[in-house]
């Protein structure tokens, strides 16, 4: 049976996922599920629309169908599709095209075709044995019609099962991701080698249903090869995104200040996100979670603080350059002073820390300014 919907696919390459032409870091959608699960009770609302979905699945598996039930199932899925854009990655997908596909697939006309197929199939099954030996099929047999209807039934069942499982998939994936985050501090290091066994312990018993092809897509002006993965269900998408992220050192964490989840993209033990603390905590002042924590004497270690980690990395480069004779002493002195100034500015100015600091500390931009100063 074809379980995969072309509507639901993503391209993966080099730690990134591409959906509808947009690029995201792998692991982004697992993190977003954590933030979106309770928002608007999306999972609960989606799980409500199942009455005719279940009825059609049960009757098709039993070999009969009430044609009027197909449009009713379509109406249920259309209601789900009204809610899904509140959850990633569905906001990025072509929902209007999927709504048209559902209306065409789950139509009463298709229901009547399937009923005709079941009647014809029953006639073939009622053949007397002497006719069966001679392969004398009854006039009701139509090879082309039978193949078309069997494919139609496959498409209907895979579609109904996909939408039937979304709410439950969200809950299982959400619970598993919470367990993973709750055990992060037990890992000796926050890299693939140490995080993968933790993930497998939590998710190892759950089946991931995917289909992979290698395709060429345009990346700017040049073509690149990507893995295009189709998913049989939402859970398979989230687990694929989560494991792809882990492979490249991406993993979700929870900020203890704003209580939102954020995606780490390296092995630091960063505690606080790069967002802003709730205004109710800061008396209406715009303040990053990291700075608020420092004011509350909950300062994270230098290893966990990205501002300090970037500064340390640049200072190490300067020291290495001096030892190797690549940097002259006067350049190194100017570079150390400039690095300190940028670090202090980032520690004081939240907007600069979020949007400018890392760019200014990039090697090319950093030493261009140092040369101007020298």
Residue 294 has pLDDT above 90, yes or no: no
Does the CA dihedral 261-267-272-273 come out positive or negative?
negative
Which residues have CB under 8 Å from 313's CB, separation 6+? none
Which residue shows structure tokens 């007397």?
128
pLDDT band at 30; cut points 50, 70, 90: very high
- Average pLDDT over the chain, rounded to whole? 84
Q: What is the largest CA-CA distance in the chain?
A: 102
Question: Minimum mean pLDDT among 91-100, 289-298, 326-335, 365-374: which range?
Answer: 289-298
The Cα 109–Cα 352 span in angstroms is 61
Q: Which helix (H) or strand (E) holds 325?
A: none
pLDDT in tens, 142-190: 888 889 999 999 999 989 998 888 888 888 999 999 999 988 877 777 7
Q: What is the mean pLDDT of residues 207-225?
A: 83
Q: Report DSSP letters for 44-83, one per residue.
A: HHHHH--HHHHHHHHHHHHT---TTHHHHHHHHHHHHHHH
How high is the pLDDT of residue 114?
A: 93
Q: What SS3 class is residue 235?
A: helix
Q: What is the mean pLDDT of residues 105-110?
A: 93
Quote the percentage of the chain above a pLDDT of 70: 90
Q: Which stretches of 126-229 are DSSP H helices?
A: 129-133, 143-182, 192-203
Residue 285 has pLDDT above 90, yes or no: no
How high is the pLDDT of residue 153?
A: 93
The Cα 170–Cα 165 span in angstroms is 9
Asked whether the beta carbons of 45 and 83 are under 8 A apart, the reply is yes
How high is the pLDDT of residue 1?
A: 44
The conformation of residue 85, written as its DSSP 8-state character, comes to G
Residues in the chain: 374
The Cα 108–Cα 68 span in angstroms is 6
Question: Minimum mean pLDDT among 231-235, 295-299, 361-365: which range?
Answer: 295-299
Q: Which two tokens stand for residue 215?
A: 């395709």
Q: Which two tokens stand for residue 365?
A: 């931009």
Residue 131 has pLDDT above 70, yes or no: no
Residue 263 has pLDDT above 50, yes or no: yes
How high is the pLDDT of residue 29?
A: 93
pLDDT in tens, 298-346: 665 555 567 777 888 888 888 888 888 878 888 888 888 888 888 878 7
Which residues have CB under 8 Å from 27's CB, separation 6+? 241, 242, 244, 245, 246, 248, 250, 251, 252, 263
How high is the pLDDT of residue 299?
A: 63
Q: What SS3 class is residue 8?
A: coil
Question: Minimum mean pLDDT among 59-68, 71-80, 295-304, 365-374: which range?
Answer: 295-304
How high is the pLDDT of residue 152?
A: 93
pLDDT band at 44; cut points 50, 70, 90: low
Asked whether the beta carbons of 46 and 83 are under 8 A apart, the reply is yes
Quote the percentage of the chain above a pLDDT of 90: 23
Asked whether the beta carbons of 153 and 145 are under 8 A apart, the reply is no
How high is the pLDDT of residue 149?
A: 93
Domains of the chain, residue spans: 9-203, 306-373
Angle between helices 234-247 and 192-203 (to 10 degrees): 160
Q: What is the mean pLDDT of residues 12-41?
A: 86
Question: Minimum mean pLDDT among 12-16, 263-267, 318-322: which range?
Answer: 263-267
How high is the pLDDT of residue 216?
A: 85
Range 85-114 burial, b when 16+ CB lie within 10 A, else e: eebbbbebbeeeebeebbeebbeeebbebb
How high is the pLDDT of residue 304?
A: 55
Q: Which stretches of 274-328 are DSSP H helices?
A: 279-282, 289-295, 306-323
Residue 80 has pLDDT above 70, yes or no: yes
The Cα 81–Cα 95 span in angstroms is 7
């Amino acid at each position: 049976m074809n379980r995969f919907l072309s509507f639901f696919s993503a391209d993966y390459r080099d730690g990134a996922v591409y959906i509808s032409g947009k690029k995201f870091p792998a692991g982004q959608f697992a993190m977003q599920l954590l933030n979106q699960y309770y928002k608007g009770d999306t999972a609960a609302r989606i799980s409500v629309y199942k009455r005719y979905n279940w009825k059609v699945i049960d009757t098709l598996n039993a070999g009969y169908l009430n044609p009027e039930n197909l449009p009713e199932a379509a109406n249920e899925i259309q209601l789900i599709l009204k809610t899904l854009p509140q959850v990633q990655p569905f906001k990025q997908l072509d929902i209007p095209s999927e709504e048209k596909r559902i209306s065409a697939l789950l139509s009463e006309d298709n229901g009547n075709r399937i009923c005709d197929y079941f009647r014809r199939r029953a006639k073939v099954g009622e053949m007397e044995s002497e006719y069966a030996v001679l392969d004398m099929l009854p006039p009701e047999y139509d090879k082309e019609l039978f193949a078309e209807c069997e494919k139609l039934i496959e498409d209907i069942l895979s579609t109904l099962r996909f939408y039937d499982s979304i709410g439950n998939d969200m809950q299982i994936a959400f619970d598993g991701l919470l367990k993973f985050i709750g055990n992060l501090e037990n890992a000796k290091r926050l890299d693939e080698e140490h995080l993968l066994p933790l993930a497998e312990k939590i998710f190892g018993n759950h089946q991931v249903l995917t289909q992979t092809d290698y395709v060429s897509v345009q990346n700017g002006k040049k073509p690149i090869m990507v893995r295009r993965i189709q998913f049989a269900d939402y859970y398979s998408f989230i687990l694929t995104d989560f494991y792809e992220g882990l492979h490249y050192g991406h993993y979700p964490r929870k900020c203890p200040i704003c209580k939102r989840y954020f995606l780490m993209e390296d092995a630091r033990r960063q505690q606080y996100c790069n967002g802003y603390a709730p205004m109710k905590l800061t008396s209406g002042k715009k303040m990053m979670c990291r700075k608020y924590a420092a004011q509350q004497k909950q300062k994270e270690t230098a290893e966990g603080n990205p501002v300090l980690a970037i500064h340390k990395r640049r200072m190490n480069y300067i020291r290495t350059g001096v030892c190797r004779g690549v940097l002259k002493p006067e350049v190194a002195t100017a570079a150390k002073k400039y690095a300190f100034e940028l670090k202090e500015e980032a520690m004081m100015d939240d907007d600069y820390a979020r949007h400018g600091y890392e760019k200014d500390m990039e090697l090319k931009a950093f030493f261009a300014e140092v040369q101007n100063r020298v």
